[in-house]
A and B are shown apart, each in its own frame.
Chain A
């Protein structure tokens, strides 16, 4: 057997086994997207209820809360970057990181120091490779986030927010994550988490109904104290869930494309292999014919 044919055979075999992997990963991602999306919608009632309540308190009680007041001057900003743990999801992590870089540049341009918090092994690898510093990293479970992680994130971030600049505290907190718009569009998004902007325009409460005059128990301040951390939890959790859904959608798309490309390659190599085999046959034939001719003469 000619060397050419053997090379093509090997290529075909390895490409088809890769295609099997791609197909399997595509199917896994596709089956998990449904669950991830239903988790996003399952967290909506909580988010809505909490947003409504926060809006009610903020609009009625004239309370000053450290979490909602703008610091006089912002010297250090925190950036929380949400990427995935695993690759093979197309440009998913790369585009979040790009967005984060952009934000960091912007913040530095305003003369602010930047402190980064990372979620996902991909972000960690990116920062480690460039030997850049980050304050903290959370890994694991980026494709099925737990509420406890959101709460832990919030606790750490709030702690830093409460600290003074001199003790390494931050004055504002931004979150970079991927917003899940649909199965085909996911957009890297930046939100400013703290100081909170609690405005009715931003929250999606129906404007046709007026918020009733609430009585607060024990007091507006204490209600707000209890509400705001939960509000942050729910925003962080929602961001994580959307990021997870986006990750799976991106992976599904990337794997579909990879599978299709593998199919194309197999087709191409099969043609080349057949070509080589045919050429070999032709050559053998002409050798036999030439040999017979030589004997006859």
Chain B
């Protein structure tokens, strides 16, 4: 099955990268979920939680306070001003 290559970067450090099945984010227009095979997209993120479902680990969330989000050919880049990794179940 195809999977997403996710990269999360904050302004001054690298946060997380790895393969994932699903990324859920909060854009300024509302929530979006990205599955493999999504159309290339650039969107502005609102402050809030980002949910990531990695292939080989349990789902976790990242708190971000704004940023943007790009998807192209299953590569998801999340650029946050500030990101805090939370290892919630």
Residues of A within 8 A of B (CB): 39, 42-43, 45-46, 49-50, 52-53, 56-57, 147, 211-218, 222-223, 226-227, 230, 233-234, 237
Contact = CB atoms under 8 A, between A and B. Distances in A.
A217 B9 contact: no
B12 A215 contact: no
A53 B44 contact: no
A223 B11 contact: no
Given A53-B68, A212-B72, A230-B81, A218 B12 contact: no
B41 A147 contact: no
Contacts of B70: 49, 52-53, 56, 214
A218 B28 contact: yes
A202 to B, nearest CB: 19
B22 interface: no
A55 to B, nearest CB: 11
Nearest to A225: B44
Contacts of A50: 79
Contact of B7 (A39, A45, A53, A227): A45
A237 B12 contact: yes
26 contacts: A42-B13, A45-B7, A45-B14, A46-B12, A46-B79, A49-B70, A49-B77, A52-B77, A53-B42, A53-B77, A53-B79, A211-B72, A212-B40, A214-B41, A214-B42, A215-B39, A216-B41, A216-B42, A218-B27, A218-B29, A222-B28, A223-B42, A223-B43, A226-B44, A230-B79, A230-B81
Given A42-B14, A217-B29, A218-B28, A57 B42 contact: yes
A211 B41 CA distance: 11
B8 to A, nearest CB: 9
Interface in B46-89: 67-68, 70, 72-73, 77, 79, 81
Nearest to A241: B12
A8 B77 CA distance: 66
Contacts of B43: 216-218, 223
Contacts of A45: 7, 9, 14
A143 to B, nearest CB: 15
Contacts, number: 81
Contacts of A223: 42-44, 68
B30 to A, nearest CB: 10
A215 B7 contact: no
A233 B66 CA distance: 14
A147 B79 contact: no
A218 B72 CA distance: 17
A49 B44 contact: no
A32 to B, nearest CB: 16
A266 B9 CA distance: 52
Given A216-B43, A226-B44, A49 B9 contact: yes
A234 B11 CA distance: 7
A39 B81 CA distance: 16
B72 A214 contact: yes
Nearest to A227: B68
B40 A213 contact: yes
A233 B11 CA distance: 9
B11 A147 contact: yes
Contacts of B44: 217-218, 222-223, 226-227
Given A45-B14, A46-B9, A217-B41, 13 more contacts: A42-B13, A46-B10, A46-B79, A49-B9, A49-B70, A53-B70, A56-B42, A216-B41, A218-B27, A218-B29, A218-B44, A226-B44, A237-B12
Nearest to A45: B9
